[in-house]
Structure 1
Amino acid sequence: MIRGLYTAAAGMVTEQRRHDTATQNIANLNTTGYKQVESISHSFPNVLISAMQGGIVKPIGRMNTGVFAEQSMSKFLQGDLVESGKSTDFALSADLRLADPTTGANLPFDASGKYISDQGEIIYQPQAFFTVQDNDGNTLYTRNGGFTVTPAGELLSSGGYKVLGADGRPVVLNGTVDNLKVDEKGNLLDATGAPTGVRLGISIVTRPENLVRDGNGVFHAEDAQAAGIRYAAAGDNMQVRQGYIEGSNVDVTQVTVDLNAAYRAYEANQKVIQFYDSSLQKAVNDVGRV
């Protein structure tokens, strides 16, 4: 009975986290460059149940001890591009591919941006990010291209981070904001349309599942090599769209369903706990009195 009580309690905690995740997604429906979060649940390790009778142990079988929300995964799908008309607004449009190491053919990623190999390995589609830097010199990654320009000409992200160029240094504009022109590869152009030699630092993250969400629309990589981070190359199927911003990729319908499902599952586990509580009360009071 006590095992069932703990299992139901673990279910309540898990559903509370699922509910909080869905609420977070709904709250960021209109956040530029926001990536939907999904709560991943796993079971606790199974335990082996045995019965002892007359000094002889007889195995009964395995029993699961509950569920827990192990982690939150970001869904790095392309959000809708919205035209803003501002010269300092940028959006990334990318459809990056990854070759199968065995056959050399491009992996067929599904609509959710992942591929499951014959061995059961999950491989996520590479993603492109703007590269920014905080005041401590840490490199961060974002899809929010709503930039601003300081009086000194520094290009800053909406969170106040310095936008880095392909050379790893902060981008500083030489001309006025009105004359800011950027081509599809991220090259800054002069008044005649010629490249200035400065290019936005667009990072390609080969394994985006290794990125850690920091808030303020930015991510960081604890191990850049494990995440397979590099700057964009000429052959990458990626474009910079000036005068556009990327909207949130939250699926409103799916998130609403998840929210209601989490609420109902939480209620179900709550009723189970109430049942166990009532049973224990009878065992202590009524059976004890007999």
Structure 2
Amino acid sequence: MFKGLYSATSGMLAQQRRTEMLSNNIANANTSGYKEDQGSIRAFPEMLLSRMESDSFATENGNRSFTKQNIIGSLNTGVYMQEMKPLFTQGNLKTTNQPTDNALIEADVPVNEETNEKAALFYAVQLQGGEVRYSKSSTFSLNENNELTIHGNPVLSTNGQPISVASEDFQISQDGVVSENGQNLGQIDVRMALDTRVLAREGNDLYRTEDNQELPSAAGTGEAAYSIKQGVIELSNVDVSRAYTDMTMAYRSFEANQKVIQAYDKSMDKAVNEIGKIG
């Protein structure tokens, strides 16, 4: 009886995590460059049940006892949310004509032979403590030092330094070269993750590598073809309609498992308070 109770409880917990993931996707549907999370629900290993019993057979020297095993069948032990993984497909583009909006467009990137998924390109930014993080956001701004930043974190150039401008009257070429009044101010560094499984999401649309090793640069290497379009932002890749549909399904599944637990609760209540009194 209790095995079914545990299975239903694990189903509720998995659907709760899925609902939280979908809620976060919907909340960031209008966040520039946001990549929606996808979750995979897996089953725990199944248990093979068998019944052990003794039997005997007659021999010349009398009865001989032995133990035999009767297979009952397999029992599922529940489900769990195995992982949440960002989907790094390109979002739709929107023209804003704002010089601080700069969409990173992937034209031709290599495919990981192991996962059969495309590599992902990112802007490299620097945190206050000097750590390097990666962002898909196409919304830039200027800080108090007139440095190009994403969410307050300076955007790094190919020489590993922030890029400073005098005003918002700057230009960014398709290969990421920042210029103002004809002066070259540096080239925006673009990093490539050939295996996106090594990335972990942080706040403010930032990513880091799980082993804290920096991603290699794709600028000028020829390993990936990309362009930066100034005055254009990349929208999130969240499909809001599908997210709402998935959330409804998750809620229904949660509700079904909840009813199973309620049924078990009533059965145990009867077993304790009614059947137990007969004896």
| Structure 2 residue 163 is the aligned partner of structure 1 residue 176 | no
TM (normalized to structure 1)?
A: 0.85
CA deviation map 1:22-56 (0-9, x unaligned): 11111111111111111221111222322122354
Aligned-residue RMSD, C-alpha: 2.0
For 2:248 and 2:220, locate their aligned partners in 1 and report how far apart those are by CA, in whole Å.
Answer: 44
Which position in structure 2 is the counterpart of 1:36?
A: 36
Which position in structure 2 is the counterpart of 1:20?
A: 20
* Cα distance change, pair 122–152 in 1 and its aligned pair in 2 (3 A): closer
> Could you tell me which amino acid in structure 1 is paired with residue 153 of structure 2?
Y
Which position in structure 1 is the counterpart of 2:142?
A: 149
How far residue 145 of structure 1 moved from its aligned partner, in angstroms, is 2.2
How far residue 151 of structure 1 moved from its aligned partner, in angstroms, is 4.1
* SS of 2:81 mapped into structure 1: strand
For 1:274 and 1:95, locate their aligned partners in 2 and report how far apart those are by CA, in whole Å.
Answer: 54
Which position in structure 2 is the counterpart of 1:231?
A: 218
| Structure 2 residue 239 is the aligned partner of structure 1 residue 251 | yes
| Structure 2 residue 177 is the aligned partner of structure 1 residue 187 | yes
Listed as ranges, the gaps of 5+ residues in structure 1 are 102-120
* Cα distance change, pair 216–99 in 1 and its aligned pair in 2 (3 A): closer
* Cα distance change, pair 99–2 in 1 and its aligned pair in 2 (3 A): closer
> Could you tell me which amino acid in structure 1 is paired with residue 2 of structure 2?
I
For 2:139 and 2:17, locate their aligned partners in 1 and report how far apart those are by CA, in whole Å.
Answer: 31
Which position in structure 2 is the counterpart of 1:95?
A: 107
For 1:249 and 1:150, locate their aligned partners in 2 and report how far apart those are by CA, in whole Å.
Answer: 28
CA deviation map 1:171-210 (0-9, x unaligned): 222x4321x1111010123434x7x261001111111222
* SS of 1:230 mapped into structure 2: coil
> Could you tell me which amino acid in structure 1 is paired with residue 172 of structure 2?
V
* Cα distance change, pair 4–229 in 1 and its aligned pair in 2 (3 A): farther
How far residue 224 of structure 1 moved from its aligned partner, in angstroms, is 5.9
* Cα distance change, pair 229–58 in 1 and its aligned pair in 2 (3 A): farther
Which position in structure 1 is the counterpart of 2:5?
A: 5
> Could you tell me which amino acid in structure 1 is paired with residue 50 of structure 2?
S
How far residue 234 of structure 1 moved from its aligned partner, in angstroms, is 5.2
Matched ranges for 1:202-217 at <5 A: 202-217=190-205
* SS of 2:266 mapped into structure 1: helix
Contact 1:206–1:229 (CA<8 Å) still a contact in 2? no
* SS of 2:123 mapped into structure 1: strand
For 2:225 and 2:218, locate their aligned partners in 1 and report how far apart those are by CA, in whole Å.
Answer: 13
For 2:228 and 2:162, locate their aligned partners in 1 and report how far apart those are by CA, in whole Å.
Answer: 18
| Bigger Rg over Cα | 2
For 2:135 and 2:175, locate their aligned partners in 1 and report how far apart those are by CA, in whole Å.
Answer: 17
Listed as ranges, the gaps of 5+ residues in structure 2 are 55-66
Counterpart among 206, 209, 215 of residue 221 in structure 1: 209
Counterpart among 134, 145, 159 of residue 167 in structure 1: 159
Matched ranges for 1:262-273 at <5 A: 262-273=250-261
Contact 1:204–1:232 (CA<8 Å) still a contact in 2? no
* SS of 2:217 mapped into structure 1: strand
Which position in structure 1 is the counterpart of 2:131?
A: 138
How far residue 215 of structure 1 moved from its aligned partner, in angstroms, is 1.4
For 2:97 and 2:199, locate their aligned partners in 1 and report how far apart those are by CA, in whole Å.
Answer: 31
TM (normalized to structure 2)?
A: 0.88
How far residue 223 of structure 1 moved from its aligned partner, in angstroms, is 2.8
* SS of 1:223 mapped into structure 2: coil
Which position in structure 2 is the counterpart of 1:79?
A: 91
Equivalent pairs: percent with the same residue? 35
Contact 2:36–2:237 (CA<8 Å) still a contact in 1? yes
CA deviation map 1:256-289 (0-9, x unaligned): 1110000000010011111111111112222212
For 1:280 and 1:250, locate their aligned partners in 2 and report how far apart those are by CA, in whole Å.
Answer: 44
* Cα distance change, pair 137–151 in 1 and its aligned pair in 2 (3 A): closer
Which position in structure 1 is the counterpart of 2:63?
A: none
